[in-house]
Amino acid sequence: MTKAVDRGAMLNHVYGLAGLIPALIGLVFLVKNDASWYEYALLGSGWFAAIIYGLMLVKAFHVARADGELIGRLTVELEGLKREMSSRNATLDYLASLQMGRVATPRAMTVQPHEDGEAM
């Protein structure tokens, strides 16, 4: 898992550095004597949008990481509960066979008849 995280971090850095190159070119061409206010506003709005997008991505990565860890913990807990339930069912089957004097059949869901005689 650490290799996947390292590759993801490296890819994020590559995209970040590759995104800085056009931004720097834009800044160089913008800083000229005859630049008007709307050119500055256009560049500022682009940077504002990029910052908001970056913040949204950072938040999404943190939420995704927390969700992944939670899913991992719940999966481990679920496997433990399945093992415990299986062992308890085996114990109950054994005790039932001792009490009844024969081998117990596995548990199965039965359809309970409704008051009208229809199955639920």
Beta bridge partners, 97, equal none
Q: What is the pLDDT of residues 19-65, one digit of tens each?
A: 777 777 777 776 766 777 777 777 778 778 888 888 888 898 899 99
Average pLDDT over residues 5-27: 71
> Taking the model in full, what pTM does it have?
0.47
Return all residues near 87 (Cβ < 8 A) that are at least 6 apart. none
Helix H or strand E encompassing 13? helix 2-30
Q: What is the pLDDT of residues 56-110, one digit of tens each?
A: 888 988 999 999 999 999 999 999 999 999 999 988 888 887 777 665 566 766 6
What letter represents residue 50's amino acid? A
Instruction: Please state, in angstroms and rounded to a whole number, the distance separating the CA atoms of residues 89 and 87.
Output: 5
**What's the pLDDT score for residue 53?**
84
